[in-house]
Amino acid sequence: MMPSLFAHYVAGLLKDKHADIVELGCGNGRDSVFFSKQGHNVDAIDQCYNEICFLINQYQHIDNLDFRCDDFTDLVDDEPYDVVYSRFTLHSVNKEQETRTLEWAYRNLKKDGLLCIEVRGQKNEIYKMGEAVDNEPDAYIYDNHYRRFLNFDNLCDELKKIGFSLDFAAEDKDFAPFNGQNETYIRVIARK
């Protein structure tokens, strides 16, 4: 399981620090496993029960890595983190859930902590493909997948309104080339 380019990028920002990281929507856990191997303390959350059971069993020997089955849009407040990491997950939830997640991230970050987001935006090549979802602007079902494509400017404005400053924000290619394709994604590093 190769970690994503985004995980490498975020690890580079943390340098020698041993950070407390929470990953929202960890999927097969590849980025959380990578962060733990870099010496960070990682809480990895996903709603997929079977995957989390497998990951708990597979990685029970690693002390600084905890997997948990939960809905990341509905988390209770926790011990504050240095990093809230969300890769390819915010386009899986509706607008209200997105806002709740961004606000949770702000409350649950230490001062100077980082919210690290990679997500599909409206410059993404499959924007508007498939069937539009009723009463949900910019959301489509394509290939049996729900995706809501975030507006880059609105996301940046919302983060600033919540209280974040933006260390980095762009919607561009080269963030996540995959299988010979180089689609356009949003990448944001927001600081509390």
Token pair belonging to 57:
């069993």
For ligand SAM, which is the closer residue by CB, 72 or 164?
A: 72
For ligand SAM, which is the closer residue by CB, 28 or 60?
A: 28
CA distances from 75 to 52, 54, 103, 108 (A): 17, 22, 11, 10
Torsion, Cα of 157, 109, 89, 7 (10° steps): 110
* Site track 94-133 with ligand SAM (rule: CB under 6 A), x = hit: ----------------------------------------
Residue 27 binds ligand SAM, judged by CB under 6 A: yes
Residues of this chain, 61-100, that bind ligand SAM according to CB under 6 A: 71-73, 87-89, 92-93
For ligand SAM, which is the closer residue by CB, 12 or 111?
A: 12
- Range list of β-strands (E), 88-129: 109-119
Least distance CB 83 / ligand SAM (angstroms): 14
User: Which amino acid appears at position 121 of this protein?
Assistant: G
User: Which residues, in sequence order, are CB contacts of 122 under 8 Å at separation 6+?
Assistant: 138, 149, 150, 151, 152
Residue 187 binds ligand SAM, judged by CB under 6 A: no
List the one residue out of 145, 126, 149, 127 whose CA is nearest residue 136: 149
Residue 183 binds ligand SAM, judged by CB under 6 A: no
Residue 25 binds ligand SAM, judged by CB under 6 A: yes
Least distance CB 111 / ligand SAM (angstroms): 26
Least distance CB 155 / ligand SAM (angstroms): 17
For ligand SAM, which is the closer residue by CB, 74 or 157?
A: 74
Token pair belonging to 20:
């407390």
Triad 2, 121, 187: Cα angle to 5°: 50
Contacts with ligand SAM by CB under 6 A lie at 4, 25-27, 30-31, 45-48, 71-73, 87-89, 92-93
